Structure 1
């Protein structure tokens, strides 16, 4: 019940209000008629109609059926793909980092975790003191929740040269760590080509993987997310205002147009003027190989959306998301037209009792 009200509140605050105030929308009676028709025919919540711009003038609502319903996929993923007993391995950034590091994969450079009043180092998992920790830190760093930091919530950026009292800053987090454990990570120095798009935030790649029952790993889609308006986060949401651009999985280059959360188009970044069309993403082949290897580390969590940064010397994994949103389709295109997605789902449904009931949602 809490989840339902949280989702509705988010939908209302970020999308319904915007839709009603959009000067380019259809008339409200028509919107209500189309919305109800979509819900009846698709047996889905109204989110897809709103998320994918069905309310905009000239929008063809028949195109909406090609988008995978997010709520339906969430239920399917939770029931059949991602075992809830193992989600902590992905969602807990400390556990994720340990598992990936043990597999030889590059991750964020963690300084320590602060949990239950204790400061623990990643190298040997031994405790240290706040004084010893302060003496170790010599660079800018980020403090983030070990879990539940969606859309940049709970992040604090600390500039080492301007921090007058690290002891006080860290003491606050130690005191609160019984309810909100955190990680300290050194700030990522991103590749200069990614900084040219937007230098203030670490602009990350969202790339989703699916681990099939036969051990193959499919990549369904990928976008590059950039910050804007002076924000230090790149999150693609109504609140953060970021821009997402499709990455061609074959060429590793950006699409012609980027989109904000409300589907407004941008041929170039509004802050830097850098053109998106055919802009090459450094190390993209390495990114694909990295997330495929990472996906195999979690055989019980088979559907993961990865956030990957491009550092000066190559890609590194920032986090994994076992409940990532399929709104990535707004940039990559509808997943019902994605042959990799529909092929993987068709095979998956054959192994599931009563899998046929999902065919109309996931298979052409």
Structure 2
């Protein structure tokens, strides 16, 4: 068996119908042989559940790394734009792309606003800096994102009325952040969960002729008062029907967050099945446009839906394929992914 002790514990606790131990052991052995590597991903992708009948269609660790790091799909110029949140924000604003406005940012104790630098090495100086930003911008909230972070880490929402108390615990001057306007979410999305900006993750491919393709999409939701929607922070994700922009029936949590399956949001009891996402066609068009501006050939895009349409939250040159693989039901059954894998291996 190639399952960790923690995975085995979580599998035993899983209340969903499971395959018998003989079938699990047989599938792990076959996958390890076919993929020429230990099937370490078997538990994390819930392949032990009875409804997972196409276990060969899920990406192995080797295949994941090939998609994430192949020089045929990624290059330094595009990857560096996507990896660095400050570079991405500046590029998008220069090209008038639809992203949240960046009001200010800091590189360690060097805080920058409106073309001027404000040194701020103490909490008192940081508070004074945001006094200025809140006063001049008229914003009630700011969303702070650590420039080099991933997976929802290093994200903070500060409020005009409470930031003076919150900032000392954040120690912003010790790291580097962009400070963006807070995105106002569509009321229909707020009905599901209003505590976070619940984004659509699109996986895209730019083919060898320069044509963009959307491979898959799923929507992520926060829970329990969290301001981020990532699976790593306890959120959940629901597959989207690309034909009509409707949510599927079930939402999944990552195994590390408990591996629960939900048919309705646990906080609001909103039923996921057949919910039609506002502005979904417009979101698809926006993503295809972004691919042409930043022509990384295999990218993840996070899109928020506002009352007036979609907006780009960020791009990812190394999108976490675990959730996309589970949401799609095995990405290797997608013809475009099959073509990509053939190109990588050729």
TM range (shorter): 0.7 to 0.9
Residue number among 211, 216, 234 corresponding to 1:241 in the alignment: 234
The alpha-carbon deviation at position 192 of structure 1 amounts to 0.3
Residue number among 195, 204, 221 corresponding to 1:226 in the alignment: 221
Alignment match, 2:268: 272
Q: 1:88 to 1:194 in 2, by over 3 A?
A: same
Alignment match, 1:341: 337
Contact in 1 for aligned 2:278/2:305 (Cα 8 Å): yes
1:90 lines up with 2:87 in the alignment: no
Contact in 2 for aligned 1:119/1:127 (Cα 8 Å): yes
Aligned mates of 1:15, 1:226 — CA distance in 2: 24
Alignment match, 1:51: 44
Alignment match, 1:145: 146
Deviation readout 1:157-212 (Å, 9 max, x if unpaired): 22221234577568x322x1xxx311222322111011011111111110011112
Alignment match, 1:4: none
Q: 1:181 to 1:302 in 2, by over 3 A?
A: same
Aligned mates of 2:297, 2:231 — CA distance in 1: 24
Q: 1:25 to 1:252 in 2, by over 3 A?
A: closer
Alignment match, 1:36: 29
Residue number among 290, 293, 296 corresponding to 1:297 in the alignment: 293
The alpha-carbon deviation at position 46 of structure 1 amounts to 2.3
Alignment match, 1:105: 97
Aligned mates of 1:307, 1:45 — CA distance in 2: 31
Aligned mates of 2:34, 2:166 — CA distance in 1: 57
1:55-204 aligned within 5 A = 55-56=48-49, 58=50, 63-79=54-70, 80-84=72-76, 86-121=78-113, 124=115, 126-128=116-118, 131-137=128-134, 138-150=139-151, 152-165=152-165, 168=168, 172-174=171-173, 176=174, 180-204=175-199
The alpha-carbon deviation at position 86 of structure 1 amounts to 4.2
1:299-338 aligned within 5 A = 299=295, 301-327=296-322, 328-338=324-334
Contact in 2 for aligned 1:254/1:277 (Cα 8 Å): yes
The alpha-carbon deviation at position 94 of structure 1 amounts to 1.0
Task: Select between 262-271 and 313-322 the one with higher mean Cα deviation.
Answer: 262-271
Aligned mates of 2:155, 2:282 — CA distance in 1: 28
The alpha-carbon deviation at position 241 of structure 1 amounts to 2.6
Aligned positions, number: 328
The alpha-carbon deviation at position 49 of structure 1 amounts to 1.4
Contact in 1 for aligned 2:144/2:156 (Cα 8 Å): yes
- Match of 1:296, SS? helix
Aligned mates of 2:310, 2:167 — CA distance in 1: 32
Contact in 2 for aligned 1:15/1:51 (Cα 8 Å): yes
The alpha-carbon deviation at position 81 of structure 1 amounts to 0.9
Aligned mates of 1:166, 1:135 — CA distance in 2: 16
Q: 1:276 to 1:270 in 2, by over 3 A?
A: same
1:209 lines up with 2:238 in the alignment: no
- Match of 2:145, SS? strand
Residue number among 266, 272, 282 corresponding to 1:286 in the alignment: 282
Q: 1:22 to 1:277 in 2, by over 3 A?
A: closer
Deviation readout 1:27-70 (Å, 9 max, x if unpaired): 667644542332122223424311332223x3556x11012324
The alpha-carbon deviation at position 25 of structure 1 amounts to 4.7
Contact in 1 for aligned 2:145/2:154 (Cα 8 Å): yes
The alpha-carbon deviation at position 20 of structure 1 amounts to 4.4
The alpha-carbon deviation at position 345 of structure 1 amounts to 5.0
Q: CA RMSD in A?
A: 2.8
The answer for unaligned runs of 5 or more in structure 1 is 1-7, 356-364
Aligned mates of 1:213, 1:102 — CA distance in 2: 27
Aligned mates of 1:219, 1:181 — CA distance in 2: 32
Contact in 2 for aligned 1:74/1:323 (Cα 8 Å): no
Task: Select between 205-214 and 258-267 the one with higher mean Cα deviation.
Answer: 258-267
